Structures are given as structure tokens and as C-alpha cells.
A and B are shown apart, each in its own frame.
Chain A
Amino acid sequence: MKPVSAWGRLSQDLHEVQMLTDRTSVAPILAAHQPGLAFGNGRSYGDVCLNPNGHLWHTTGLNKFIAFDETSGRLVCEAGVLLRDIQRLCVSRGWMLPVTPGTQLITVGGAIANDVHGKNHHAVGSFGDHVLGLSLVRTNGEALSLDWVNTPAWMNATAGGLGLTGVIVTAELQLRRVSSPWLRTETLPYQGLSEFFDLADASEHDWEHTVSWIDCLAGKTARGIFMRANPLSAQQVATMPSLRAALTAQNRKMQRKPLTMPFVPPVSLVNGLSLRPFNLAYYQLQKLKSGFDVAHYEPFFYPLDNLQHWNRMYGPRGFYQYQSVVPREVGHDAVQAMLDAIAHSGEGSFLAVLKTFGNREAKGMLSFPQPGVTLALDFPNRGERTRQLFERLDAIVRSAHGRLYMAKDARMPRDLFEAGYPRLSEFATYRDPGISSAMSRRLMEF
């Protein structure tokens, strides 16, 4: 037995850990050690990846590539391969993952199981949209080969299926063409939510990546930083000779070990004293960067990957992330109500991310993205006070007919889950009876 935490570090429960290392011998391990749950790189925040006092099947040992066709951009690999390894392998050959979240230190299996999204959701959808097929091993020994043509319902259940339909062992992904690792970015400070929505709407057609950081402590006229980016074309790269030296510098940086948060401080470093200066400094620094720039994809997409174990900053009690999506019609008012509730509670968040989703439904039965606006906030765990704030936020999300993101959640009530995910009963028929997680026991039958 070994203590295992999710990224939020809210618990350190003991788990019986099995390492999966050979894709052809997964079935007997699952059969002998159940009920269990696949565990990738442990970057989901709450209890979706935990199975206290039960089995955890670690998949990071399944890290082999299987085939890559450089003409079509189809990549076949094992499910424990990290998105980082795909990016680093493929970018120099003119291909990239179409969808990545704010960290590339997650496994392919985890990306599928949580149907993750990125800053370009409005342009290309979520991760599941780019999975051509996958192999799924069930605890009864069955090995299913799934794709959208022959087994669409199984794909709908497994993409965003939280690992509950079986263990994803291999996947075939469709990459997309890129001509360089560079992005042309624009940074725009904004005041108030109306300005945010105007910027988001104005950017939807001409900008592939959009995201914004919002200072949730600034009250009524919430200030924020809107960032948008497009890949640089080959012609644009050719006109910027300085990029050559910049790429060498960036590659050297990527070889180096990232900085590490070396220990868990006795109290959260994100607290009432530090938040205001943190947010003010961040806002002012970003404001200085207003305007156009060119950025390498790594620092633009994955700014926090450069600080290993940043989750330790929140101290020994860990932290929650609260990520909701609410429909666009009520988006402005609901987000404003949530910001007001946070300001009123005296709790605060440093990492507050506000982004509009595109007008498309995700394919997965339990996928998070839906048309609307999503707000993600980190809160240090201060016990009852923090949970009381969440209840107020839940009420806003519930009445706005929104939903919470399972990859982040550790505490949402069952009724909110059921209201937010209407395809739940359909999903239940695809579950593997030998797989169970702390989250599935909290929110579903088993």
C-alpha cells in the first residue's frame, strides 16, 4: 500500500499500486487486481483519479510509440505517453497535437478519459474530437478495438468516460500540420466582463487560441488580461531571422531541468496576505506586455510546467480547483455573480481563468465542454469556509444550467452532477463493473 494524491493534494490515501508496462499483458493484471482504476500522471485535481484502499493501475509505463505516418499525421501510441513527448517528437516534423490543456505533463489516456480542452476549443473542439480510435481492455479480459465508424457509442462513452469504461491501452490520434513552433500572440488588458465578452466575440473567427486571466479580487469592474494567438505561417517565420537564435535558446531551455517547488510550506503561500499583491503584480506585468509578440508554444500553452510541484505552494491541506461552464445567454450575469460571491467571501484565487467555448457539443457522454463560458479558479483548502463558498457558487451554476468539470472536482453534490450531465444513465450501461473511483462512488452507483 502506498499513499497517492491527486494534483490538488487534498488527500494522501493508501492505494495498492500495479504498474502496467507491457500493452499485451494488461488484461491478466486487471483481472487479478480489481476493483481498480487507471492512473496516469496524476494531474487531475480531485478524486477522479483516486481509488482509496483499492487498486490503482499506473499507466505511465505504457510509454511506447507504435507508428507515426508523417504524410497523414496519424500517430499510434500507448496510453501512458505524455503529451509533452508527442509535441517534442512531432513539432520538428511539422505536426502537433491539435488540442492540449494548460499542462502537457498528462498522459494520452488521461486526456481522452477527461476529454480535455485547450485554448482553441472554439476552433477545433476537445481532445476526443481528434482520437481516431483506441484499444480498451475490460476487467473481464475483453479487448475492444474502438473507432467512430464501427463503435461510435463506445467512443462516446469512453472519450470523457473518466476511465470507467475500461483501461485505454493504445490510441490513434490525428495530429495537425504546423509550420513552426511559434505563435503570434496579442495581449490585451480589459476592464469588466462586457469588455471580455466583446474581445472574445471579436477574436472567435480570426484567432485560434483565446484565453484570459481575471483578477477575481477587483470587484465590479473585474480587470483582466486577454490573450490570443495564431500559429505563425512559414512565410512569417521566414521574415523573422531572429527566431533562429530564439529557437536555439528555447531548445536549450527545454533540455534543462525545470525549477522545483522543493518542499511543502507549513501554510499556503496563496493566502489573504499574498493574493492582492500577487494579482496586482501579475496584472501590471502582463499589462506591460500589451500588444503583439511572438511566443514559443511551450511557454504560451504550458506556463506552469516550468515550475515542478507548483501545487505544493498551497501548503499541507492542498487546494481545490472550481471550474464551471455556463451557457452564453446567462454567462455575463452568472460569472459576475460568481466573482461577487468570491469577493464577498474573502476567499480568493490567483489562477482565475475565463474563456468562452465554441458553439459545439462535445462527443463524450460525460464530456465537460459545452457552448458557453468557463471560469476556473484555484482555492487553498481552508475547510468549511471554502466549502461554504463552493455551495454559493454551486447555486449560481445550478440556476444557470451549467456544469462542473470532473477532472477538477473533489466535492460537487450529486444533484448538481446529475443536472449537469443528462446523458449519465446512457453512460452507465458502458461501465466496467471491475472499475471504480472515489469520484464514481461519490456521484454514481459504484
Chain B
Amino acid sequence: MQHIVIIGATSAMAEHCARLWVQDAPVRLTLVGRDEARTHRVADDLRVRSPQSHVQVMTTDFVNASAIQQTVHTIAALAPVDVVLIAHGVLSDQTTCENDVLACDAALQVNGVSPVLFAQAFAKPMVAANHGTIAIIGSVAGDRGRKTNYVYGAAKGLVSRYAQGMQHRLAHTGVKVVLIKPGPTDTPMTSDLKAKGQKMASVEQVAQDIVKGIATGKPVVYTPGIWQIIMLVVMHLPRFVFNKLNI
């Protein structure tokens, strides 16, 4: 059985990826969450979907480097890791972050530093085994800073640059690094945007793209695919045009 580890297992994207994995074949799943009861509810659902799978729950402090190190150490000792999906995040409110340095710090920690530390901690045993895939969920928001969400964007930009460097380092090894950049997706995290009527991709569709991207080891996965083109345009807009846009 494949050993798949999900960090931030209560996130809707991660949960739907897990549903696709267990639907495909029985797997060994280690679900890591912040909230123990919620993570157990995700685990129960997956056990109903796939009684043959082995689903285990762990909790940890996501913004504490030594807790992260300890958690990853424990997981790696359970069984060799085939896939780790690092999926946690909080869509921080830009205005709050602008006015409150503590909120800004929290947003940068949980969306940027924490995923990088998890990837860093998993890389060690996986490189030693010369096997496995590290998948990190970034965001299209990390491609170019915009006034409406640049704190979140900066954290995701950190994730992007880190993944890029890891891909360079591990290019000729058996370890693959997959950076996933979803566009706005219909999940609880974005429910405020949805309530305002913004069109969003379905989480099922995004999860399919993620699972496929991980299976093929694609270095960068934009999902839905159209965002690759949209961001290509956004990134190359000259500043005098860009600054006129209210995005």
C-alpha cells in the first residue's frame, strides 16, 4: 500500500484528494490536522469510503518548528512516505493584515513558513530513501503581488520560490517536488468570496488536477488549467497598466 501523508487534512482540497486516492486503491493514509475531532471526522469518512485503507490521525502545532520536526520524524518512522501533500492554509484578510502586524505575522507563518518547514522536514528522509513526491499547495496569488491580497500572496510566493529551489536541487534524484497553484476554489476557506457571488472552480475538479499532477510528477500544476494563461498575462502586464487595475 502507498503511504500518503496529508498535512492540513481538514482542508477541503486535501479531503477531496484523499477521497480520490482511496477510491482508486486502498492506501495507508496519515492525516495531520490542527483540530483533533475534525481530523477524526475526515478519517471516519475515508474509512467508510475505503474499509481496506489504513487511516491514521495525528495532530500538531503547525507554526512551531520543533513540533513540525517531531511530527515528521514520527510519521517517517511509521512507514516510508510515498507522497506528502502539504495543504494547510488560511485565507487571511488583507485589510486586517495591513492594520495589525500580529495578524500579518500569523498569516505569513501559517501560509508561508509552516508549509516550507514541513517540506524541509519531509525532504530529509525522502532524499535518503531517494523516493517519493512532495506536493505543496501554493496559489496563483503568489505569482504577482496585488493590493487585494499581497500578504497571503507573499506567503504563497515564499512557497513557490522554495519549491522551485527544491526542484532544482532534486532534479536528478528519485524525489519529485510538485507545486500546485489553484485559482479561487469553492471551499470553506473562500466562503466569503462565494457569498459575494465570485465564480469559483469546484473543489472536486481541483482535487482531480492535484491528484493527476502528483501521479505524473508535474513540477507546476495550475488548476483549473486556464489560470496558467491568466497568470502569464497578469505577470507580464506593464506596471502602468497593472496599477490601473482594481484586482
| A residues lining the B interface (CB < 8 Å) | 1-3, 16-19, 21-24, 61, 64-68, 70, 77, 89
Q: Are B48 and A66 in contact (CB under 8 A)?
A: yes
Do A19 and B191 touch across chains, with their CB atoms under 8 A apart?
A: yes
- Name the contact of B44 in the complex, choosing from A1, A17, A65 (C-beta under 8 A): A65
Q: Does B144 contact A (CB under 8 A)?
A: no
Q: Are A17 and B194 in contact (CB under 8 A)?
A: yes
Given contacts A2-B195, A2-B197, whether A64 and B45 have CB atoms under 8 Å apart is: yes
Number of interface residues of B (CB under 8 A): 16
Residues in A with CB closer than 8 Å to B38 are: 22
Q: A21-B188, A23-B41, A24-B37 in contact; A68/B197 too (CB < 8 A)?
A: no
B225 vs chain A, min Cβ distance (A)? 14
Partner of B195, one of A17, A65, A68: A17
Q: A202–B140 Cα gap in the complex (Å)?
A: 62
Question: Bound state CA distance, A46 and B188, in angstroms?
Answer: 27
A431 to chain B, nearest CB (A): 26
The 3 closest A-B pairs by CB, nearest first: A65-B48, A64-B45, A21-B188
- Given known A-B contacts A19-B188, A24-B37, A64-B42, A89 and B48 have beta carbons under 8 A apart: yes
Interface residue B236 (Cβ < 8 Å from any Cβ of A): no
Would you list 20 pairs from A and B whose C-beta atoms are within 8 A, ordered by A residue? A2-B195, A2-B196, A3-B197, A17-B194, A18-B191, A19-B188, A21-B12, A21-B188, A21-B191, A22-B41, A61-B188, A64-B41, A64-B44, A65-B45, A65-B49, A66-B41, A67-B44, A68-B48, A89-B48, A89-B49
Residues of A close to B42: CB separation below 8 A: 64
Q: Could you tell me if A16 and B195 are in contact, using CB atoms closer than 8 angstroms?
A: yes
Residue of chain B at shortest CB distance from A14? B197
- The answer to whether B45 touches A66 (Cβ under 8 A) is yes
Q: Which of B44, B45, B51 has the most CB of A within 10 A?
A: B45
Nearest CB in chain B: distance from A30 CB, A: 15
Q: Determine the distance from Cα of A12 to Cα of B196 in the docked complex, in whole angstroms.
A: 15
In B6-49, the 8 Å CB interface with A consists of 12, 37-38, 41-42, 44-45, 48-49
Within the complex, the shortest CB–CB distance from A192 to chain B, in Å, comes to 46
Contact bitstring B187-199, A, C-beta under 8 A = 1, else 0: 0100100111100
In the bound assembly, the distance between CA atoms of A89 and B23 in angstroms comes to 9
Instruction: Please determine whether B191 and A67 come into contact, CB atoms closer than 8 angstroms.
Output: no
A19 touching B41, Cβ below 8 Å: no
Closest chain B CB from A244 CB (angstroms): 20
A75 to chain B, nearest CB (A): 8
